[in-house]
Structure 1
């Protein structure tokens, strides 16, 4: 079965399950225009000053086809390992010796493509960005395949390392095949163009990454982004980081980004500066982390009403004005080891039958069989 077909079957079931969950939670579905605005090539040129340095390359359709092709293999590269050679000893060969030919099955193997022009551009970008980069497509980085790299991270130093992470990633398969499936007004299966964004590599501290949620241009909540770990250093500083991020939102994003409802990821540097990492849609496939979407909706609904009532003011017309009146955004962090959440990447590298727990899945059949066996023993 071709990789694209497998991708389609997996994502179809996943998307059905996601829609069922959103319906139960009353979540708002995203629109195509919102998803398109969150592509890195759309927002980065305008927010370059407050973001990590990034080079963006348009990907040829042939490279997209390579990423979707069945099998895990790398394209031919100018930096690839040399071809294997076969040693021969003519003096030991019989007169009727004929060199053994490989079996015909190898004729069915996919032709190894090459992308010299793209490789050359990527090599130049990597050199310009200091020798190491983090790759991502329009929306997502291949976070689910960090385990396959030599460094155990997304740090890449050449075209081959980038190609390996991209081709092995299920997350990127979703971006390539089904990015618009969760849109309520879906009219397309893919964006007009795919890009490869290469971000300058920094050894970032995960506890300094945050996700902020914006409703009707009001910042309604901030969450620790890496919720799979407990960081004691955050216990006494969440209010400080919340203030930095709220000021950053007022100064750099509130009136500059087109969408009214969205989430953004950011990083706080050791000298107190906030760097924009990404924009995400409100709802859809974006994770609310230590909140729920219903909570965030309710916080927005109560925000102005409560503040106006407590301050006897009816003139709160913007978040900047709300902020000037002393409003503080709630920052949620993991308070202790017992509140650490399971890793969202824990499923990486395991069979899809174990990842998929929906109706009719192998996991459901296993649980049902186990319950039957226990019932019979009882």
Structure 2
């Protein structure tokens, strides 16, 4: 039966967050959710064409893990990151032109990083001859947290340079490389030699974010559905019964017979015509997966009948959602993000910033923090 986010506070379902429910997770559950492990079973139900480059060479993994942000030297202006400014009456000459020359000179002295994985780099370039643009990901995660660095603020990549910069800037990608098997019931270390890292390049397709849904399966039963984009869309309440029916049929007819894990999370996209369900991704049923409008304690302990699927939507416009935008912690300094969630904190930050601007240039925010600490100590 569909319910809403507001129902949680009314029923007290989220009041027991202090309790910790165990969620079983095995190595095989993680491997089952690796993109190439499920794609061949369900590729007829995905949204776009996909190229999977596997295995990723060790040299490329080392490049992603390194702190150096040198990008491929060839054809840099094919990337959306390097749009050459056009001269006009307002910018015929400025200091940044000299800075650009210095930066270009410095980059020219650095070795091209792709020399260490040239064959793999050529494979990536080949994909761009087939797909005009792509959305990248590794085995489990997409670099959604690093889209702030892109001009279009999306994962749409027009060149290998775009792909590499997104991947290198993402904590999610770092998770795939070094923490994918954290939290397993079996604490035996997972050797990298037992599986292959892969680069998934999905042909870019524009979708309506209001029609993306995350679905939770526990013990081979669909128990909950949440909208993925946490903004308010008034029309969703009118069509939620149709959406629920479509997703339930898709789960019963497509996923349940072929997917091997008993518990998992899958993402779908449904066009507004509600004519078809497209599979976007499959994730582990684990706390590392975003539970969106649910809590993981709820999902682990929820008691539902066979046909009783909890369906949650954002039911009212919430201006506070903009302050806590997804991955916002990656866009701005942490002090700014924390202050944006608290009025008093925002006022304090503004006062500190005004003090900094009125100083003689020797004051900085760290000094101001130290002064604040001293004041607090005196008060105590």
TM-score by length of 2: 0.70
Per-residue CA distance 1:310-348 (angstroms, 9 max, x = gap): xxxxxxxxxxxx5xxxx3523100001239653330111
* CA–CA separation in structure 2 for the residues paired with 1:56 and 1:26: 36
User: By how many angstroms is 1:181 displaced?
Assistant: 2.1
Distance 1:355 1:169, change over 3 A: farther
Preserved contact between residue 29 and residue 284 of structure 1 (Cα < 8 Å)? no
* CA–CA separation in structure 2 for the residues paired with 1:198 and 1:214: 27
Preserved contact between residue 166 and residue 172 of structure 1 (Cα < 8 Å)? yes
Query: 2:34 pairs with 36, 39, 45, which one?
Result: 39
* CA–CA separation in structure 2 for the residues paired with 1:193 and 1:75: 24
Per-residue CA distance 1:10-43 (angstroms, 9 max, x = gap): xxxxxxxxxxxx9953241522111111110111
Map of 1:162 onto structure 2: 163
Distance 1:351 1:180, change over 3 A: farther
Distance 1:368 1:216, change over 3 A: farther
**Are 1:333 and 2:339 matched, yes or no?**
no
Map of 2:354 onto structure 1: none
Query: 2:206 pairs with 189, 203, 207, which one?
Result: 203
Provide the secondary structure at the position in 2 that maps to 1:337. Answer: coil
Map of 2:64 onto structure 1: 67
Runs of 5+ consecutive residues of structure 2 not aligned to the other structure: 1-16, 79-101, 339-365
Map of 2:88 onto structure 1: none
Preserved contact between residue 211 and residue 264 of structure 1 (Cα < 8 Å)? yes
Question: Relative contact order (alpha carbons < 8 A, sep ≥ 6): 1 or 2 greater?
Answer: 2
* CA–CA separation in structure 1 for the residues paired with 2:277 and 2:138: 23
Map of 2:349 onto structure 1: none
Preserved contact between residue 328 and residue 337 of structure 2 (Cα < 8 Å)? no
* CA–CA separation in structure 1 for the residues paired with 2:329 and 2:184: 25
Provide the secondary structure at the position in 1 that maps to 2:217. Answer: strand
Distance 1:65 1:33, change over 3 A: same
**Are 1:49 and 2:44 matched, yes or no?**
yes
User: By how many angstroms is 1:216 displaced?
Assistant: 0.9
Runs of 5+ consecutive residues of structure 1 not aligned to the other structure: 1-21, 83-101, 305-321, 357-364
**Are 1:25 and 2:20 matched, yes or no?**
yes
Query: 1:294 pairs with 287, 293, 297, which one?
Result: 297
CA RMSD of aligned residues (A): 3.3
User: By how many angstroms is 1:192 displaced?
Assistant: 2.2
User: By how many angstroms is 1:351 displaced?
Assistant: 4.8
Preserved contact between residue 207 and residue 231 of structure 1 (Cα < 8 Å)? yes
User: By how many angstroms is 1:371 displaced?
Assistant: 8.9
Distance 1:265 1:237, change over 3 A: same
Per-residue CA distance 1:131-181 (angstroms, 9 max, x = gap): 111000111111011111122111111111111111111211121122222
User: By how many angstroms is 1:252 displaced?
Assistant: 0.5
Distance 1:71 1:222, change over 3 A: same
* CA–CA separation in structure 2 for the residues paired with 1:219 and 1:347: 32
Map of 1:348 onto structure 2: 330
Map of 1:241 onto structure 2: 243
* CA–CA separation in structure 1 for the residues paired with 2:233 and 2:370: 39
TM-score by length of 1: 0.71
Per-residue CA distance 1:245-283 (angstroms, 9 max, x = gap): 111111100121000011101110233211111111112
Question: After superposition, where does 1:82-121 map in structure 2 within 5 Å?
Answer: 111-114=111-114, 115-121=117-123
**Are 1:224 and 2:227 matched, yes or no?**
yes
Distance 1:80 1:234, change over 3 A: same
* CA–CA separation in structure 1 for the residues paired with 2:191 and 2:375: 44
Preserved contact between residue 51 and residue 277 of structure 1 (Cα < 8 Å)? yes
* CA–CA separation in structure 1 for the residues paired with 2:261 and 2:140: 16
Preserved contact between residue 27 and residue 293 of structure 1 (Cα < 8 Å)? no
